[in-house]
Amino acid sequence: MLPGSTGVKIVTSIVLISMALIALHFFYEWVGNTFLDSGGTVG
Amino acid sequence: MTQVAEKTDDEVDRPQLPPASLGYRLIRGTGLTLVWLGVLTLGFVAHQLWITTFFAKQNQADLAVELEEHFAVAEITEIPYVPVVPPGEDPPEVDPSIVQGAAGSPGLLRAESAPEDGVAFAEIRIPKLESLADGWAVVEGVSLSDLKNGAGHMPWTPLPGQPGNSVISGHRTTYGQPFHDLDLLEVGDHIEVETALGVHIYSVKEVHVVKPTDVWVTHPRSGAWLTLTTCNPKWSARERLIVAAELIAGPNAEVILGRV
Protein backbone atom coordinates (compact mmCIF):
# COMPACT_ATOMS: atom_id res chain seq x y z
CA MET A 1 0.00 0.00 0.00
CA LEU A 2 2.80 2.44 0.89
CA PRO A 3 5.17 3.53 -1.88
CA GLY A 4 8.93 3.07 -1.89
CA SER A 5 11.39 0.51 -0.66
CA THR A 6 10.98 -1.52 2.52
CA GLY A 7 13.00 1.02 4.53
CA VAL A 8 10.90 3.91 3.28
CA LYS A 9 7.75 1.97 4.05
CA ILE A 10 8.89 1.34 7.65
CA VAL A 11 9.81 4.99 8.22
CA THR A 12 6.56 6.18 6.65
CA SER A 13 4.59 3.76 8.83
CA ILE A 14 6.32 4.95 12.00
CA VAL A 15 5.65 8.60 11.10
CA LEU A 16 1.99 7.94 10.27
CA ILE A 17 1.40 5.86 13.43
CA SER A 18 3.10 8.51 15.60
CA MET A 19 0.94 11.25 14.09
CA ALA A 20 -2.19 9.17 14.63
CA LEU A 21 -1.27 8.49 18.28
CA ILE A 22 -0.57 12.17 18.95
CA ALA A 23 -3.88 13.15 17.37
CA LEU A 24 -5.62 10.46 19.41
CA HIS A 25 -3.93 11.73 22.59
CA PHE A 26 -5.28 15.25 22.07
CA PHE A 27 -8.70 13.90 21.15
CA TYR A 28 -8.78 11.77 24.32
CA GLU A 29 -7.65 14.78 26.38
CA TRP A 30 -10.44 16.91 24.95
CA VAL A 31 -13.10 14.27 25.57
CA GLY A 32 -11.81 13.62 29.09
CA ASN A 33 -11.60 17.29 30.04
CA THR A 34 -15.01 18.04 28.56
CA PHE A 35 -17.08 15.15 29.81
CA LEU A 36 -15.27 13.21 32.55
CA ASP A 37 -13.12 15.51 34.64
CA SER A 38 -12.59 19.15 33.77
CA GLY A 39 -10.34 19.79 36.75
CA GLY A 40 -13.12 20.97 39.02
CA THR A 41 -13.00 24.69 38.36
CA VAL A 42 -16.15 26.78 38.66
CA GLY A 43 -17.31 29.60 36.46
CA MET B 1 17.01 -28.52 -21.17
CA THR B 2 14.08 -26.20 -20.79
CA GLN B 3 14.25 -23.39 -18.29
CA VAL B 4 11.08 -22.50 -16.45
CA ALA B 5 10.89 -18.88 -15.36
CA GLU B 6 9.86 -18.46 -11.72
CA LYS B 7 6.75 -16.38 -11.21
CA THR B 8 6.76 -13.42 -8.91
CA ASP B 9 4.20 -13.04 -6.08
CA ASP B 10 2.03 -10.92 -8.34
CA GLU B 11 2.11 -13.47 -11.08
CA VAL B 12 1.27 -16.51 -8.98
CA ASP B 13 -2.00 -18.03 -10.05
CA ARG B 14 -4.50 -17.71 -7.27
CA PRO B 15 -7.89 -19.35 -7.18
CA GLN B 16 -10.57 -16.89 -8.12
CA LEU B 17 -13.04 -16.36 -5.27
CA PRO B 18 -16.61 -15.54 -6.05
CA PRO B 19 -17.45 -11.87 -5.40
CA ALA B 20 -18.60 -11.25 -1.79
CA SER B 21 -22.27 -10.70 -1.42
CA LEU B 22 -23.64 -7.40 -0.10
CA GLY B 23 -24.78 -9.05 3.12
CA TYR B 24 -21.35 -10.52 3.75
CA ARG B 25 -19.68 -7.19 3.15
CA LEU B 26 -22.12 -5.41 5.46
CA ILE B 27 -21.55 -7.88 8.28
CA ARG B 28 -17.79 -7.77 7.81
CA GLY B 29 -17.77 -3.96 7.74
CA THR B 30 -19.94 -3.72 10.84
CA GLY B 31 -17.77 -6.22 12.69
CA LEU B 32 -14.56 -4.40 11.84
CA THR B 33 -16.10 -1.06 12.83
CA LEU B 34 -17.17 -2.47 16.19
CA VAL B 35 -13.73 -3.95 16.78
CA TRP B 36 -12.08 -0.60 16.07
CA LEU B 37 -14.58 1.25 18.27
CA GLY B 38 -13.78 -1.20 21.06
CA VAL B 39 -10.05 -0.67 20.61
CA LEU B 40 -10.51 3.14 20.64
CA THR B 41 -12.71 2.94 23.75
CA LEU B 42 -10.23 0.74 25.59
CA GLY B 43 -7.49 3.15 24.53
CA PHE B 44 -9.50 6.05 25.93
CA VAL B 45 -10.01 4.28 29.26
CA ALA B 46 -6.31 3.43 29.49
CA HIS B 47 -5.40 7.01 28.56
CA GLN B 48 -7.64 8.52 31.23
CA LEU B 49 -6.78 6.03 33.96
CA TRP B 50 -3.08 5.49 33.53
CA ILE B 51 -1.46 7.74 30.97
CA THR B 52 -2.72 11.02 32.46
CA THR B 53 -1.74 9.82 35.93
CA PHE B 54 1.68 8.72 34.73
CA PHE B 55 2.42 12.19 33.37
CA ALA B 56 0.88 13.92 36.41
CA LYS B 57 3.13 11.96 38.78
CA GLN B 58 6.18 12.77 36.66
CA ASN B 59 5.19 16.43 36.81
CA GLN B 60 4.63 16.22 40.57
CA ALA B 61 8.18 14.95 41.04
CA ASP B 62 9.48 17.95 39.08
CA LEU B 63 7.19 20.33 40.98
CA ALA B 64 8.44 19.00 44.34
CA VAL B 65 11.92 20.20 43.39
CA GLU B 66 10.52 23.49 42.09
CA LEU B 67 8.61 23.91 45.35
CA GLU B 68 11.74 23.53 47.47
CA GLU B 69 13.42 26.18 45.34
CA HIS B 70 10.39 28.46 45.68
CA PHE B 71 10.37 28.10 49.48
CA ALA B 72 14.06 29.02 49.55
CA VAL B 73 13.78 32.19 47.47
CA ALA B 74 10.23 33.42 48.16
CA GLU B 75 10.09 37.03 49.24
CA ILE B 76 8.19 37.36 52.52
CA THR B 77 6.93 40.68 53.77
CA GLU B 78 4.67 41.95 56.53
CA ILE B 79 1.51 43.77 55.57
CA PRO B 80 -1.23 45.36 57.68
CA TYR B 81 -4.19 43.10 58.32
CA VAL B 82 -7.28 44.36 56.51
CA PRO B 83 -10.35 42.22 57.18
CA VAL B 84 -12.18 41.02 54.11
CA VAL B 85 -15.72 42.31 53.68
CA PRO B 86 -17.93 39.83 51.83
CA PRO B 87 -20.28 41.34 49.21
CA GLY B 88 -23.43 42.76 50.80
CA GLU B 89 -22.05 42.81 54.35
CA ASP B 90 -21.14 45.78 56.48
CA PRO B 91 -17.47 46.21 57.39
CA PRO B 92 -16.73 44.75 60.84
CA GLU B 93 -15.69 47.00 63.69
CA VAL B 94 -11.95 46.76 63.88
CA ASP B 95 -9.58 47.67 66.68
CA PRO B 96 -7.19 50.17 65.00
CA SER B 97 -4.38 49.26 67.36
CA ILE B 98 -4.38 45.75 65.94
CA VAL B 99 -5.00 46.57 62.31
CA GLN B 100 -2.30 49.21 62.17
CA GLY B 101 0.23 47.64 64.51
CA ALA B 102 3.94 48.37 64.26
CA ALA B 103 6.27 45.85 62.65
CA GLY B 104 6.12 42.57 64.52
CA SER B 105 2.91 43.45 66.33
CA PRO B 106 -0.08 41.14 66.11
CA GLY B 107 -1.66 43.48 63.58
CA LEU B 108 0.66 42.49 60.76
CA LEU B 109 0.22 39.55 58.45
CA ARG B 110 3.03 37.63 56.82
CA ALA B 111 2.63 37.54 53.06
CA GLU B 112 4.54 36.28 50.06
CA SER B 113 4.58 37.84 46.61
CA ALA B 114 2.10 36.42 44.12
CA PRO B 115 3.59 33.43 42.28
CA GLU B 116 3.81 33.44 38.51
CA ASP B 117 1.32 31.45 36.51
CA GLY B 118 2.09 27.74 36.44
CA VAL B 119 4.66 27.92 39.24
CA ALA B 120 4.40 25.50 42.18
CA PHE B 121 4.11 27.57 45.36
CA ALA B 122 2.34 25.35 47.90
CA GLU B 123 1.66 21.79 48.93
CA ILE B 124 -1.71 20.56 50.11
CA ARG B 125 -1.97 17.67 52.56
CA ILE B 126 -5.07 16.00 53.95
CA PRO B 127 -4.05 13.38 56.52
CA LYS B 128 -7.43 11.65 56.33
CA LEU B 129 -7.21 10.97 52.59
CA GLU B 130 -4.75 8.43 51.25
CA SER B 131 -4.32 10.28 47.95
CA LEU B 132 -3.31 13.49 49.73
CA ALA B 133 -1.69 12.23 52.92
CA ASP B 134 1.80 12.70 51.45
CA GLY B 135 0.97 16.00 49.81
CA TRP B 136 0.29 17.27 46.31
CA ALA B 137 1.90 20.32 44.77
CA VAL B 138 -0.29 23.33 44.11
CA VAL B 139 0.48 25.53 41.11
CA GLU B 140 -0.71 29.03 40.36
CA GLY B 141 -3.54 29.01 37.82
CA VAL B 142 -6.47 26.81 36.90
CA SER B 143 -6.05 26.42 33.15
CA LEU B 144 -6.19 22.90 31.73
CA SER B 145 -2.42 22.86 31.39
CA ASP B 146 -1.96 24.02 35.01
CA LEU B 147 -4.28 21.33 36.33
CA LYS B 148 -2.45 18.61 34.39
CA ASN B 149 0.53 19.22 36.66
CA GLY B 150 -1.03 19.67 40.06
CA ALA B 151 -3.88 21.19 41.99
CA GLY B 152 -4.44 24.77 40.83
CA HIS B 153 -4.95 27.96 42.81
CA MET B 154 -7.41 30.44 41.32
CA PRO B 155 -5.23 33.52 40.78
CA TRP B 156 -8.01 36.02 41.55
CA THR B 157 -8.45 34.63 45.09
CA PRO B 158 -6.06 35.19 48.01
CA LEU B 159 -3.17 32.84 48.61
CA PRO B 160 -3.63 30.20 51.32
CA GLY B 161 -3.09 31.64 54.78
CA GLN B 162 -4.33 35.09 53.77
CA PRO B 163 -7.69 36.70 54.70
CA GLY B 164 -10.61 35.95 52.40
CA ASN B 165 -11.43 32.84 50.41
CA SER B 166 -8.54 31.00 48.81
CA VAL B 167 -9.76 28.56 46.14
CA ILE B 168 -7.90 25.48 44.94
CA SER B 169 -9.21 23.16 42.20
CA GLY B 170 -8.07 19.68 41.29
CA HIS B 171 -8.83 16.66 39.17
CA ARG B 172 -10.92 13.92 40.71
CA THR B 173 -10.45 10.93 38.41
CA THR B 174 -7.62 11.77 36.02
CA TYR B 175 -4.16 13.35 36.13
CA GLY B 176 -3.22 11.66 39.40
CA GLN B 177 -6.73 12.19 40.79
CA PRO B 178 -5.56 14.31 43.77
CA PHE B 179 -9.12 15.11 44.89
CA HIS B 180 -10.50 11.61 44.28
CA ASP B 181 -11.77 11.07 47.82
CA LEU B 182 -12.72 14.62 48.72
CA ASP B 183 -16.28 13.41 49.38
CA LEU B 184 -14.98 11.47 52.39
CA LEU B 185 -14.16 14.69 54.24
CA GLU B 186 -16.44 15.59 57.12
CA VAL B 187 -16.90 18.68 59.24
CA GLY B 188 -13.93 18.98 61.58
CA ASP B 189 -11.37 17.21 59.38
CA HIS B 190 -8.12 19.06 58.88
CA ILE B 191 -6.55 20.31 55.65
CA GLU B 192 -2.95 21.51 55.68
CA VAL B 193 -1.46 23.84 53.12
CA GLU B 194 2.25 24.53 53.29
CA THR B 195 3.51 27.72 51.67
CA ALA B 196 6.71 29.69 51.97
CA LEU B 197 5.21 31.22 55.14
CA GLY B 198 4.72 27.89 56.90
CA VAL B 199 1.90 25.40 57.38
CA HIS B 200 -1.65 26.75 57.43
CA ILE B 201 -4.19 24.40 59.02
CA TYR B 202 -7.85 24.58 58.09
CA SER B 203 -10.85 22.83 59.61
CA VAL B 204 -13.60 21.62 57.28
CA LYS B 205 -16.87 23.46 57.85
CA GLU B 206 -18.94 22.66 54.76
CA VAL B 207 -19.14 19.90 52.15
CA HIS B 208 -21.69 20.39 49.39
CA VAL B 209 -22.41 19.95 45.70
CA VAL B 210 -23.09 22.85 43.31
CA LYS B 211 -23.41 23.52 39.59
CA PRO B 212 -20.23 24.27 37.62
CA THR B 213 -21.48 27.84 37.12
CA ASP B 214 -22.01 28.58 40.84
CA VAL B 215 -19.16 31.04 41.16
CA TRP B 216 -20.47 32.27 44.51
CA VAL B 217 -18.42 29.53 46.16
CA THR B 218 -15.32 31.54 45.21
CA HIS B 219 -16.59 34.85 46.61
CA PRO B 220 -14.73 36.55 49.47
CA ARG B 221 -15.58 35.49 53.03
CA SER B 222 -14.75 37.14 56.33
CA GLY B 223 -11.92 35.43 58.16
CA ALA B 224 -9.62 33.12 56.22
CA TRP B 225 -11.09 30.25 54.24
CA LEU B 226 -9.88 27.57 51.92
CA THR B 227 -12.31 26.27 49.30
CA LEU B 228 -11.49 23.08 47.41
CA THR B 229 -13.41 22.37 44.20
CA THR B 230 -13.49 19.23 42.09
CA CYS B 231 -15.78 17.42 39.66
CA ASN B 232 -18.79 15.49 40.90
CA PRO B 233 -19.83 12.71 40.68
CA LYS B 234 -16.69 10.75 39.92
CA TRP B 235 -16.16 10.34 36.14
CA SER B 236 -18.46 13.24 35.35
CA ALA B 237 -18.01 16.99 34.95
CA ARG B 238 -21.74 17.56 35.54
CA GLU B 239 -21.43 19.09 39.04
CA ARG B 240 -18.83 20.39 41.46
CA LEU B 241 -18.02 19.05 44.91
CA ILE B 242 -17.11 21.89 47.23
CA VAL B 243 -15.23 21.62 50.52
CA ALA B 244 -14.98 24.85 52.51
CA ALA B 245 -12.61 24.99 55.47
CA GLU B 246 -11.73 27.77 57.89
CA LEU B 247 -8.23 28.65 59.04
CA ILE B 248 -7.57 27.51 62.60
CA ALA B 249 -3.79 27.60 62.90
CA GLY B 250 -0.75 28.85 61.06
CA PRO B 251 1.55 31.85 60.68
CA ASN B 252 -1.33 34.31 60.24
CA ALA B 253 -4.07 32.55 62.19
CA GLU B 254 -3.76 34.49 65.43
CA VAL B 255 -4.02 37.86 63.73
CA ILE B 256 -6.95 36.85 61.55
CA LEU B 257 -8.84 34.88 64.20
CA GLY B 258 -8.40 37.69 66.68
CA ARG B 259 -10.37 39.99 64.43
CA VAL B 260 -13.19 37.76 63.28
Do the chains contact at A25 and B142, CB–CB below 8 Å? no
Query: What's the whole-number mean pLDDT along residues B75-86?
Result: 87
Task: Quote the CA–CA distance of B171 and A36 in Å, as a whole number.
Answer: 10
List phi, psi (to 5°) of B101: -70, 160
For chain B, what percentages of helix, strand and coil (3-state, to nearest 5) are there? 30, 25, 40
Whether B255 contacts chain A with CB within 8 A: no
Instruction: Give the number of other CB atoms < 10 A from CB of residue B65.
Output: 11
Percent of chain B scored above 90 by pLDDT?
76
pLDDT tens profile A18-39: 999 999 999 999 999 999 999 9
pLDDT tens profile B11-32: 666 777 778 888 999 999 999 9
Please report how the helices B22-46 and A6-31 are oriented relative to each other, as an axis angle in degrees rounded to 10: 70
**What SS3 state is found at B96?**
helix
| Model pTM score | 0.85
- Confidence band for B87, pLDDT divided at 50, 70 and 90: confident
Query: What's the whole-number mean pLDDT along residues B196-207?
Result: 97
Question: Which one is predicted more confidently, B19 or B186?
Answer: B186
Select from B153, B169, B208 the residue whose CB has the most chain A CBs within 10 Å, as the one to mutate to test that interface. B169
Beta strands in chain B (DSSP E): 76-80, 108-112, 120-125, 136-140, 151-153, 164-169, 190-195, 198-210, 224-232, 239-249
Query: What's the whole-number mean pLDDT along residues B22-45?
Result: 95
Closest partner CB to A40 (pick from B213, B215, B240): B240
Q: What pLDDT is attached to residue B146?
A: 95
Whether B233 contacts chain A with CB within 8 A: no
Closest partner CB to B237 (pick from A24, A29, A38): A38
Q: Nearest to residue B74, comparing CAs of B140, B143, B146?
A: B140
Question: Which one is predicted more confidently, B57 or B18?
Answer: B57
Enumerate residues 10 to 49 of chain B having a beta carbon within 8 A of any beta carbon in chain A. 40, 43-44, 47-48
pLDDT surpasses 80 at B2: no
- Give B171's contacts (C-beta < 8 A, 6+ positions apart): A37, A39, A40, B56, B147, B177, B178, B179, B230, B231
pLDDT tens profile B117-141: 999 999 999 999 998 999 999 999 9
- Confidence band for B102, pLDDT divided at 50, 70 and 90: very low
**R_g of chain B computed on alpha carbons:** 28
* Distance (Å) from the alpha carbon of A21 to chain B's nearest alpha carbon: 10
Query: How many Å separate Cα B191 from the centre of its chain?
Result: 15
Question: Which one is predicted more confidently, B86 or A15?
Answer: A15
Closest partner CB to A37 (pick from B44, B47, B171): B171
Task: Quote the CA–CA distance of B86 and B222 in Å, as a whole number.
Answer: 6
Task: Quote the CA–CA distance of B224 and B83 in Å, as a whole number.
Answer: 9
